[in-house]
Structure formats: structure tokens, C-alpha cells
Structure 1
């Protein structure tokens, strides 16, 4: 019997990862949290987990700061999935421990600082025979594999443009809100025209045509790990990563925070927490009207048969958190079945073949639309 440990598994993203693994494997799953009491104190988390996910899943109280308990929990399983964000604040101790005890690893990390920390362990993971895949989920995650699909259609790739759109909260918890505002703290580097350039977060609004039901929506520069893993993976001159929300009103609020608020405020944890909680309350209301879906648009530009060509892929799902669960759950399924083995530390696009990606998306009913764009 294979065993999976999901750190932070009682949260919105982690519980959807667990649900996907339950649906597609026979693994015994342990989800963890720091507190056994439910968010509103109405029921214990062990009870809520059992009611939602069934007997295949159990709950364990675990604080990542308790290194000894963490190590014992990791050593008792076959796969660890790290869902305990925000990853801005995390070190790579979980990954390091997995390497030391020889356990495969996935995470839903979404911040470049953590990605760089994880990639530093590539050689150690390879030597230990541990497959570690980072930045899984919906974006980054499924989005990276959509890019790989596009790149493989071209003979030569010059430019990658990724646009992400989330309705309201996306069905995720307050941690995702914290992540959004933490992403506004500092300028970041983007790969543009063959060189690294400094970009201000939530700048350069661009109107993108997303599939129904969204249509034309504004997106903005946002600091994402794929902004530097994609140039490392593919020989491209430009990688653009932009993000927006529905309703558009939230975009303007976020833009004003990024451009008008003093940096000292944005670097204050109390201010970030305030913004996250206010935003979460707002989306509790707006979610009723906008839904909690996600849309991804990947456009890859280059050459095919010596002619300029553009390949566009789009995906829409009604629930962002569920889609994130699919992105990570598919990789867990493949690792547990022995269909994916690549010792080292890898972003998704460097570890997952397009064939396997397409098979697992089809098994979950995820439809990705592809088209060649006319010049």
C-alpha cells in the first residue's frame, strides 16, 4: 500500500490535491495542519477531512517547525506533497528531508524565491534517486505543460506569452490572497529580448481575449517562477507572465496598492495580512456573482517550416482550486504508478512529457483548446 503525506493538506488547495489522488489511486493519504480545530471552530479537522474525503484519508497535527516529527512523518510515506504556503516564507527543509530519507516530492510553490532554493538541491536529489517536481498545480503547473505543447509544435521558438485569469477567490483560501499581495513587494526580473530586465509588479496592463465566459480582460505583469524556468528550459528571447482578476474592479484596486502605497507598507507583514483578510471578505460576496473559475492562455511565437507562426492554447475551468488539485494530483498518480521517474529537482515543464500530460488531462475531463493564430 502506497502512502502519501500532504503537508498543509487541510487547506483549500491541499484538500483538492487529496481529492484527486483519492479519485485516481488507492494510496493511503495523510493530510496535515497545525491545528485540529476547523476554521470556524464548528467541527474538528479530522472529522471534516473524513466526511469530505473518506476513509482513504486521515488527519495529523503537524507543525513544520518540529523537525523531528516532520522527519518521522516523511520517512513513513512514499510521496510528500508540500501545500503549506505562502512559499515566500518557506525554506527548502521539507525537500531536504525528503532527499535525506529517499522519498519523492511534489509541491504547489508559486514564488521564485522558493523555486531557486529548491533548485539548489538538484544534484543532491539526483544522487539520492529522488524525483522532486516543483511549481505544480494550475499556474504554475498545468500552464507550463501547455507552453511545452506549444513549443513542440514549432521548429524555433522566440516568444512565450502566458496570461492567467482568476474569478474572485478562485475557490482558494486566504493563503492565496496573501500570496497575491506578497507578489507586489518588489520589482522582479523578466527575460525580454534576450536579456533580463527589471519589471514593476502589476504594471503594463494588457487586454487579452480569453475564452467564454470571460472575454476581454486586463492582465498585468506578475512575478512567477515560470518567468525564469521557461527561459532555462527553452531557447526563447522573451517570456511574459501576466495575471488578472474578475471582476476588473479588483485589478484596479491591486494596481493602486502596487503603485501608490509606500514600499514600507507592502513589506510590513501586518499590512499584508490586513489586505489579504479584507480581500477575502470581499470575494466572499463577489464569488456569488463571478464564480471561482480560472482561465489560462498560452501563446508561443516562432517559426514553422521557415515561416513565422503562433500557436495558442487556452484552458477554462469553473473552479481554480479544483483545477490546481488536478495539476498536482496527476503528477502524484504518475509517480505512485512508476510512470514518471526523473531523479533531481525539476519545474513541471522539464519533468513531464507532453504525452503523459495529455493523457492525465483527458482522464480528468480537462479540455485544452489549440489553434494556429493567423499573421
Structure 2
């Protein structure tokens, strides 16, 4: 019997990708959860004999507690995280289970970080934002910062093809991110920005090339300046085909706040977009590209360190990000009691080792 890992929301696209990575890189026994039993059983069967399914609704706190108590690590993949509280993390601290999640929203990350002292006291390692973006992207930034003598500016950009293979949840997340202005760390102060504003053309590796990206509210917008003493952190996001960028920009720019903040409207937009990507995915693919550029000083000279990553399936890449950290915890290589953003907890050498073992190639370039 291997150690037990519980993946909440593990029957979904991201959760099942995390489970697949753990099957390939650990000896753990894995339980995936979801609310639809028939789907969950099929997903578990497809992942192999070490994976089983547990029907679970997060509202059933007693059943949730029982499942967490029986687990060594709990991985929270049940998004969208805009609507979630930190009860899963709180229960992990109480029951002595280490915790990871694939959260991707500022409000949830802020709630989780409030439990830092409690987790530290309990000796629990809890790491948030561990997927692909945020996740692998944040570790690429740390890798870049450590290459410089002094880092001054971080520019982090992402582009996703169509649905990214992540299902309808990513559509909900995209439109939920348009609901309110947010603050970003620019020129040494917090400044308010509108989501999906200030289009910028960024050069990604093939097959993406020059692609439009926009300001977007993500947890790393505030965790990166908290982690690294820089003056500016830019986080921008874009989609392929470019038509989706203009659609999202149009909604953010012209629709009344009362519409965008209505759950029914968000659900309508998510469903329409998902149906559209079911068609466009056949042509665009479902991949992801990340570009991290850190500006600063090296050997007394002004310079930029740029790293890029491309993967053909966004959901699988997210599974690598989270699964690799769970692997390190199981192996006893990563223990850091408290609640941390991934760039605060994962050393660069371990990050590079786990990415190499998964065939992820990060291209590096100095720009003088």
C-alpha cells in the first residue's frame, strides 16, 4: 500500500491530469472526488488500479473530514476558486494532512494565506497556486530572479489555445476575472487597473509567435511582489485564436458591471464560449505558452533574463506542476510548514529536476 493522496475535484480535467501525473511518478494510492458518480468511476478506471473514486460534495463537511483524515496529502482542484472558502485547507491543518491546490484567484489565495501561522504551528506544508499559471510560471520567475544580482521588474505573460483542454471551468474563470478592477505593483506602488485592458503584443515561441495579451487579475499579481523586492510586476493573459481576445475585451469594456457580476450571465458566457472552443480547438489546439522576463542587473550591467515554455496541452501541464510538488513532499524533499505561494516554497533546483523528469523544456535567453 502506498501513501494516500486525496484529489478534490479529481474527476475534472485538471484534477484527473494531476492524478495521471501522480500515477506516473509516485507509488501513492489516489482517491479522486466529484459529484457525478458515473463520470467519476469512468475517470478512475481510466487512470488505473491505484485510483479510486469517492462521491463527495464539499458541502458535506463530515464526509470531507473523513476523507482528509485518511490522507497524507490533499490536493484541491475543485474550481472555480472565486466561489470557494478555505475550509478544505482549514480541515487539513486540523487533521494533519499536507495541502496543495490549483487555485487561480486573488480572493481565494488571500483567504488561504490567512492560515499561515496555523499551518506552521501544526507542521503542515500548504502550497497554493501550484498548476501551470499560476504554478510552473511562478517558478520560472524565481529561476530568473535568481540569475540576476538585482531584479527590478517582472513581466509574466501567458497564452492559451482555445479551451486549453481544461473544460468549461476555465471559461467560467476567464469571465469571472472580468468582474472587478484590481491592483498591481507598478513603479513601486499599488495601482488600480481594469481587467483585460492595455493590449500588448508579446513574442512567444512557435507556434504562437507574436500574440496579444492583456492585464488580468491573477494571484501572482500580488504574491510575486510579496516574494521578490522588485519595483514592477506585470501579469498578462491572452487567447488563441485572437478572436477570443477581442470578445473578452468587448465584454470587459462595454458590458455593465451588473451583468458581468451576475452568476447567470457568467454561466451563459462560459457555456457559449465552451461550445465555440469545441469547434476551434480542432484547429488551434489546446496548448499553452509562458514567457517570463526579469529585468535587472548582472555583473554591474543592465540586462534581462527571459525564459519560455510551450506545451501542447494546458491541462496536462497543470497536472505536471501540481503532481511534481506532491511527489517532492512524498519523497521528503520538500517540507515547509505554513501556507505559501509556490514561488515561496519550491527551490529552483527541485523545480528544474521535476520538470526535466517530465520532459518539460524551459528555454532560457539573456537579452542585453
TM-score range for the pair, normalised by the shorter chain length = over 0.9
Runs of 4+ residues deviating >4 angstroms: none
Corresponding residue of 2:168: 174
For residues 146-195 of structure 1, the C-alpha deviation after alignment (integer angstroms, 9 at most, x for no partner) is: 00000001011110000000000000111111000000000000000000
Q: What displacement does 1:305 show? A: 1.2
- Contact 2:102/2:128 (<8 A) preserved: yes
Count of matched residue positions in the alignment of Structure 1 and Structure 2: 367
TM-score, normalised with respect to structure 2: 0.99
Unaligned runs of 5+ in 2: none
Q: What is the aligned counterpart of 2:366 among 367, 372, 375?
A: 372
Equivalent residue, structure 1, for 2:23: 22
**Residues 43-82 of structure 1: pairs in structure 2 closer than 5 A:** 45-50=40-45, 52-82=46-76
Of residues 191, 194, 198, the one that matches 1:200 is 194
Which SS does the other structure have where 2:134 is aligned? Answer: helix
Aligned to 1:42: none
1:220-299 aligned at under 5 Å gives the runs 220-299=214-293
Indicate the RMSD between aligned Cα atoms, in angstroms. 0.6
The alignment's TM-score, normalised by the length of structure 1, stands at: 0.97
Distance 2:54 2:153 in 1: 45
Structure 1: which 5+ runs fail to align? 39-44
Aligned partners of 1:246, 1:49: CA distance in 2, in Å? Answer: 31
| 1:8 matches 2:2 | no
Distance 2:24 2:301 in 1: 44
The alpha-carbon deviation at position 34 of structure 1 amounts to 1.1
Question: Is residue 2:329 matched to residue 1:335?
Answer: yes
The reply to whether residue 113 of structure 1 matches residue 96 of structure 2 is no
CA distance, structure 1, for counterparts of residue 61 and residue 211 of structure 2: 45
Q: Output the CA distance in 2 between the equivalents of 1:210 and 1:234.
A: 24
Separation of aligned partners in 2, 1:75 and 1:249: 47
SS of the residue aligned with 1:60? strand
1:48 to partner: Cα distance: 3.5
Deviations 1:64-94 (A, max 9, x none): 0111110000000100000000000000000
Tell me which residue corresponds to 1:35.
36
Deviations along 1:103-160, whole A, 9 cap, x unmatched?
Answer: 1000000000000000000000000000000001000000000000000010111100
After TM superposition, give the deviation of residue 49 of structure 1 in Å. 2.0
SS for the counterpart of 1:232 is helix
Distance 1:158 1:337 in 2: 35
What SS does the corresponding residue of 2:201 show, helix, strand or coil? strand
**Displacement after TM superposition at 1:307 (Å):** 1.1
Is the contact made by 2:287 and 2:311 (CA closer than 8 Å) also made in structure 1?
yes
Displacement, 1:37?
Answer: 3.0
- Among candidates 119, 123, 127, match of residue 133 of structure 1: 127
Rounded Cα–Cα distance in structure 2 between residues aligned with 1:354 and 1:246: 30
